[in-house]
Every structure is written in structure tokens, then in C-alpha cells.
Chains A and B, each alone.
Chain A
Amino acid sequence: MATDRLDALRGPVPPRPHDARAIAALAANPGCARRAVLDAAGIDKDSTARHLGFPAPFGQSRFAITRGDVFEAQVKANGCAGLLRLLREVLGLPIPLVAYHDAADVGAHLRHAHTRALIDRAARDSDDAGTFYDHPLLSLEIAGHTSYLEPDVVAFRLGGRFHIVEIKSFAVIDGQAEPAKVAAAARQAAVYVLALRRLVEELGHDPGRVSHEVILVCPENFANRPVATLVDVRRQLAVLRRQLARMTGVGDLVSGLPSGLTFDLAADADGVPTRPVAELAEAIGTVAARYAPECRSTCDMCLFCRDEARDEGSTDLLGRHVRDELGGVAGVDEALALAEGTRGPADGQEEIARLLRLADRLRAESLEPAR
């Protein structure tokens, strides 16, 4: 039932498969109904945003992608020799454990089945098990569609548990990395952990054997030498689980939408969208968004939602922190009116109105000498 509705929303095009980055982005803004519906329906958000006239300046640069690939190849070269050193140094992996399995040895069409067989064998008897599983292919069911995911490497045998290894090319300088990038990597790794846990559970083993600690490999300082860190992704896992549960419960969101609503781009034979832009914008507008400045690094629809939030004078534009502080005040205009005292506080707004007036006075005082 809900699936039919989602298909109607998407129009006569195949659903877009999700990759780990997209699934991780879901967890980044769990409150956004628009994103939940568009993703559940498998809608191509990029071309939708493009057609609406708000193409997102989005995606990695070619150079960054090349750099990432080169660094990953360096860490994985010669049967993960570089990674092996890191695990020996950082996690005390014993010398005899070096077995390396490549799940891609069987050819692309059997990769997923082979990954299953390898993981099953590893979980079953630890004598024959490998230490590294390269090029694994995992699957995760999202709102009725199977998405295939490719973690960088799965490591086993660190205390009899599976660890996801995530290789990223941003630098860890003096033990510190950019928090936003680490958070994004952790979210992405959490997707892999979840997929691997589902697989292990399906095979009849304890899902707890997949560790919630992922191994993040990054270049150290200003050189290209890799360094490994353990990152705990329990929080990201919880958010992700909740978000995926919401997506299966997306039926509730969808049933509240007017019937006959569709986000179909009505592409012609050449794939050029012919749907009138205003009509599409109105259709999208019926599903509420929850814009936050962070959306600009994770969602294709970000500029459209930002524009909408601006038109409405919404406090979302100012970031989550401000929005939460201004709880109960709907828009920027209202907040300004409260601050200047041109509008009396409604019931329950007394406290925030007092704070806003105080802030206004402080601002006026600090600007006074300049005049």
C-alpha cells in the first residue's frame, strides 16, 4: 500500500539506489520529513533540485576523489601491508595473523554471495578465518529496496570480532582531525556496521560479534603516512537505526499527503524534465522540510529548502542552536518584534521575550559609542 504510494510519488522511473553516503546523510538530519519521503520513494534528488533551479554545489572535487583513491590504494597495497602494520602497532595484532581474502576474486556478479560465504566461514570456525576481507559487498534493505554497500575493508580476528575499516584521506594533524569530517566518516562507517550486523544475524551468528568500534585510517600530519584510530560509532548506530525504522514507518507520513500528489519530473524521451517548475515546487512544498545549515553538505535539496526557509523568515536558517533557543517563536520577524517590544509576548513566550529584549538592549548599548 505504502509502496504503491511511494511509486506514484516517484513517477515511472526506477528508484535510485542508496549508497552509504546517502544513508549516512539520512542520519544527519533525522527530523526532515521531506528528505525521508524523497529518499523512501527513491527519488533522484539531484535532478529534482536541478529542475527546480536550485542545483546544489555538491559532491567532491575530482582532485579530492583521486587523492582519496590513491591513499586507499596505498594503504591496501600488497595484501593490505600498510594496514597490517597499523593494526600490529595500534591494536597489537599478532604476527601470524596475516590471511587476506579478496571478495572480488570471483567476479562482480558473485561478490555479494562470496562475501556472505567468507563472513560465514570466519564466524563459524576461527581456524580458517582470514584477517582481512577486501572489497566486500554488503546489502541493507531500505524502505523495501535493497541497497548494496562497499566498505573499504573488513578486518576480523581482533579479539574474535569483525571491525569495519574506513580509509579516509583527510589528515589527522597532531592527533586532531576536523570534527565534521570525522563525524561524517563515523556516520558512514555506522551504516557498514549495521549492514554487517544484519548479515551476521541472518547467518545465524551473534550480531554482537561486529564491533561498534570502527578503525579509521587517515594520513598523519603533513605526510602521506597512514595512521589508525578506533572510533566508537554507537551513537551514530542508534540514530541510524531510528531513522531507518522511521523510513519503514514512512507510510504514516505518506498517508497524510494529498492523493494524486507526485514528484514526477515527466521526463521526455531524451530524459529532459518537462514538468512545470512552479507545479513541482508546489508539490515538493506540501512535504515539510527541516532546513539546517548543515544540510548544505549532505543534501541535494539544500538550496531549495534554504530559499523556502528564507521566504518564510524561518529561524531554521540561523542554525539548530538558535532555533532551539527560540523555541515557541515561529519566525525571524516575530523574534525581532518581540525584541523591539513592538509586539507583546503571547502565552508561554514571556521568558524568551525577556531574553530577546535584553539582547536587544545589549546590542544597542554596544553600538552606542560608535554612533
Chain B
Amino acid sequence: MAFTLMLEIRGTQGRHAEAPATLPAVSDPLDALERRIGELRGEVRRAVKARQSTLARSLRGELRKAELAWDDAVSAEHGDAPEPAGTPSLLPVREQVHQALALLGVPTAARLVVAVHEAFFAGGLSAGRLTSLRRDEERSFRTAPFSRPYYLCAALTDRLSPARGLLAVSTWPLEQRIVGPLSHRVDFLVSASRIAEHLGRLTRAGEDAPPGALRLLSRMAQNIPGAVERFGGAEPQTVIRAAAAELTVHLEADTAGRAGTAERAARQLGDVEQLFGAATLSHAQRGA
């Protein structure tokens, strides 16, 4: 469900991104495009009839591209330039952050949330709007606990205090929201492979990989041993393999540490503290 939504939004953004390449001067390219769309539709129908699903899928991809190009050409002809990228999304900030976090699946710093959102989803999300988010969510939870389907909450450190600057989702199991000493690295590797997986998913669905997402992945892959050649961008499959290789080194110790802390948190903390962390004063001495 959420996935379809993402694809649709991504589609809108892709249209804007492609605009400059396909600006036609006259109506001829439009006619050509319409002919091409007609042909493609016919081919898709024949492929589906012949149960050639692979062919049908790739043809559908081409059809979608042609339709997008047609959209751009029409709007360009009427002189209404596509909206600039980074227009504010219609979704509330918390929904946008949730989208990005659902993709990553680990507690994430605001900076990376913004980068992921920029790379994959439509609309600009500015880091400034994330600063008070956790506090607002906490206030909402305190006034009416569990009245929303999810809350954007804190990750907990091994002293059960809220970890600085990390955002998490309340529906995740507690141990997923714990950050021990090794978790920063583990979470970084996991988020890199999640981004790579999502890129692979988009490519398989016949979409172009968003260039911003590839750049983001290359940037992250620089810091994973064996994930990227000295020159050139990152290859999603290579990144996934390299991240998995390093993960095997850290994962066991990290999981054990997280489970222990999660168990302690479940025992010692109330509902609000489990989501938003315990005040540091009362627990700082205990953890030392």
C-alpha cells in the first residue's frame, strides 16, 4: 500500500526531472510520441495475451516513459513550465519523515532522513522543520496516549536516555530502537543496503533510478570497505554485498547488547519513557 503511494509520488518527481531533455520545438514530436504510445499499447496487449510477463513488464516501463515524455511535451507547449523541484509536499512533515524512516528501518539522524526523502520522494523537507518534531510528538502522546497509529519517537541509548538527534518510529520493536556503541555502525550499514535495495526495486519496476539517490548511495558507499571502486558511482548489488560482509562482523555483539538494553528498558520504563527516553538525571548514575 505504502509502496504504491511511494511509486506514484516518485513518478511525479521523475517527470519534472526529465523535463529539460525532452522539450520539443513544434508539435511533430508530439505526434511521433502519440504514435509510439499507440504502438507500445498494442505490443503490451499482445505480450500479455501471449503470457510473456518479462517482455510485458519491460514494455510497460517503456510505455510509461513515453507517456511521461508526452506529458512534458504538452505542458511545455502550453508554456506552463513544470513546477520547480522542492515544492512543499502536501503531506504533513511527520508523514514525510515516516516514509523515509519506513524505507530505512533503523533509527536515523535528521540529516539522513532529509537526504533520503530528497532522493526518493517528492517535495522538499527541510531539516529545520524536524527540530521540534520529537518534542511535538511527545506532547501529543502525553495528552492522548496511543491515539495515533504511530509516533515519531527517540532511539534509546544504553543508559535509556534519548539518543541525540536520532528519529525512530514507535511501531518498531524496542530493540530496534536501542542504540548501543556498535549500533551506529550497524545502522549505517543497514540503511546503506536498504537504500541500495530500494534502488534495485525501482529499476526492476522499470523506473529510472533517481540520480539523487544514486549520489546518496555513492556517498555512503565510500565509507564501506569494498563497496565502491575508486572512481565511478556505486553499484547497488555491490553495496549490499559489502555492507552484509561488514555486518557479519558486528551484528552478533550488537544484537546481544540491544536485546539486553531493551529488556532493561521494558522492565524499568513506563510507556512515555519507552518511547521518548528517560530523563538523564535519574538514570545517569545507574548506567555508569
The finding on whether chains A and B are genuine partners in a shared complex, rather than unrelated, reads yes
In the bound complex, what is the Cα–Cα distance between A98 and B253 (angstroms)?
12
In the bound complex, what is the Cα–Cα distance between A104 and B187 (angstroms)?
19
Task: From B157, B164, B191, name the one whose CB has the most chain A CB atoms within 10 angstroms.
Answer: B164
**Is the beta-carbon distance between A104 and B111 smaller than 8 angstroms?**
no
Per-residue 0/1 for B153-181: is the Cβ within 8 Å of any A Cβ (1 yes, 0 no)?
A: 00001010101100000000000000001
Residues of B within 8 A of A102 (CB): 157, 163-164
A79: Cβ under 8 A from any B Cβ: yes
In the bound complex, what is the Cα–Cα distance between A104 and B188 (angstroms)?
20
In the bound complex, what is the Cα–Cα distance between A73 and B165 (angstroms)?
13
**Is the beta-carbon distance between B223 and A85 smaller than 8 angstroms?**
yes
Would you list which residues of chain A between 215 and 234 have a CB under 8 Å from chain B? 225
**Is the beta-carbon distance between A78 and B161 smaller than 8 angstroms?**
no
**Is the beta-carbon distance between B157 and A79 smaller than 8 angstroms?**
no
A84: Cβ under 8 A from any B Cβ: yes
**Is the beta-carbon distance between A100 and B181 smaller than 8 angstroms?**
yes
Would you list which residues of chain B between 244 and 284 have a CB under 8 Å from chain A? 246, 249-250, 280-281, 284
**Is the beta-carbon distance between A79 and B185 smaller than 8 angstroms?**
yes
In the bound complex, what is the Cα–Cα distance between A99 and B281 (angstroms)?
24
A179: Cβ under 8 A from any B Cβ: no
Residues of A within 8 A of B222 (CB): 82, 85, 225
**Is the beta-carbon distance between B225 and A88 smaller than 8 angstroms?**
yes
In the bound complex, what is the Cα–Cα distance between A110 and B185 (angstroms)?
25
**Is the beta-carbon distance between A105 and B161 smaller than 8 angstroms?**
yes
Q: How many B residues are at the interface, by size bracket?
A: 20 to 34
**Is the beta-carbon distance between A106 and B280 smaller than 8 angstroms?**
yes
**Is the beta-carbon distance between B284 and A104 smaller than 8 angstroms?**
no
Report if A105-B159 is in contact (Cβ < 8 Å); known contacts: A79-B184, A96-B249, A100-B185. Answer: yes
Report if A106-B249 is in contact (Cβ < 8 Å); known contacts: A79-B188, A101-B181. Answer: no
Residues of A within 8 A of B288 (CB): 117
A151: Cβ under 8 A from any B Cβ: no
Would you list which residues of chain B between 210 and 234 have a CB under 8 Å from chain A? 220, 222-223, 225
B32: Cβ under 8 A from any A Cβ: no
A370: Cβ under 8 A from any B Cβ: no
B23: Cβ under 8 A from any A Cβ: no
In the bound complex, what is the Cα–Cα distance between A88 and B164 (angstroms)?
26
A10: Cβ under 8 A from any B Cβ: no
Would you list which residues of chain A between 83 and 109 have a CB under 8 Å from chain B? 84-85, 88, 95-96, 98-102, 104-107
Task: From A78, A82, A96, A107, name the one whose CB has the most chain B CB atoms within 10 angstroms.
Answer: A78
In the bound complex, what is the Cα–Cα distance between A11 and B22 (angstroms)?
73
Report if A95-B249 is in contact (Cβ < 8 Å); known contacts: A73-B111, A81-B185, A85-B223. Answer: yes
B182: Cβ under 8 A from any A Cβ: yes
- Report the nearest A residue to B115, measured CB to CB: A77
- Report the nearest A residue to B279, measured CB to CB: A107
**Is the beta-carbon distance between A78 and B184 smaller than 8 angstroms?**
yes
In the bound complex, what is the Cα–Cα distance between A114 and B159 (angstroms)?
11
B205: Cβ under 8 A from any A Cβ: no
**Is the beta-carbon distance between B109 and A114 smaller than 8 angstroms?**
no
Residues of A within 8 A of B181 (CB): 99-101, 130
In the bound complex, what is the Cα–Cα distance between A134 and B159 (angstroms)?
16
**Is the beta-carbon distance between B223 and A82 smaller than 8 angstroms?**
yes
Task: From B112, B185, B223, name the one whose CB has the most chain A CB atoms within 10 angstroms.
Answer: B185
In the bound complex, what is the Cα–Cα distance between A107 and B164 (angstroms)?
9
Residues of A within 8 A of B246 (CB): 95
**Is the beta-carbon distance between A96 and B161 smaller than 8 angstroms?**
no
- Report the nearest B residue to A99, measured CB to CB: B181
Report if A78-B280 is in contact (Cβ < 8 Å); known contacts: A98-B250, A101-B181, A105-B159. Answer: no
Residues of A within 8 A of B184 (CB): 78-80, 98, 100
**Is the beta-carbon distance between B164 and A105 smaller than 8 angstroms?**
yes
Residues of A within 8 A of B188 (CB): 78-79, 81
Residues of B within 8 A of A104 (CB): 164
**Is the beta-carbon distance between A106 and B223 smaller than 8 angstroms?**
no
Q: How far is the CB of A296 from chain B (nearest CB, A)?
A: 37
**Is the beta-carbon distance between A110 and B280 smaller than 8 angstroms?**
yes
Residues of B within 8 A of A105 (CB): 157, 159, 161, 163-164, 280
**Is the beta-carbon distance between B185 and A98 smaller than 8 angstroms?**
yes
In the bound complex, what is the Cα–Cα distance between A212 and B56 (angstroms)?
66
Q: How far is the CB of B189 from chain A (nearest CB, A)?
A: 9
In the bound complex, what is the Cα–Cα distance between A107 and B188 (angstroms)?
24
Residues of B within 8 A of A84 (CB): 185, 223
- Report the nearest B residue to A129, measured CB to CB: B181
- Report the nearest B residue to A83, measured CB to CB: B223
**Is the beta-carbon distance between A98 and B157 smaller than 8 angstroms?**
no
Q: How far is the CB of A250 from chain B (nearest CB, A)?
A: 38
Per-residue 0/1 for B91-102: is the Cβ within 8 Å of any A Cβ (1 yes, 0 no)?
A: 000000000000
Residues of B within 8 A of A95 (CB): 225, 246, 249
In the bound complex, what is the Cα–Cα distance between A95 and B225 (angstroms)?
9
Could you jot down 8 A-B contacts, CB within 8 Å?
Answer: A80-B184, A84-B185, A88-B225, A98-B182, A98-B184, A100-B181, A102-B157, A114-B284
Extra A-B contacts (13), CB below 8 Å, given A81-B185, A88-B225: A77-B109, A78-B109, A78-B223, A79-B187, A81-B223, A85-B225, A100-B184, A105-B159, A105-B164, A107-B284, A110-B281, A110-B284, A130-B181
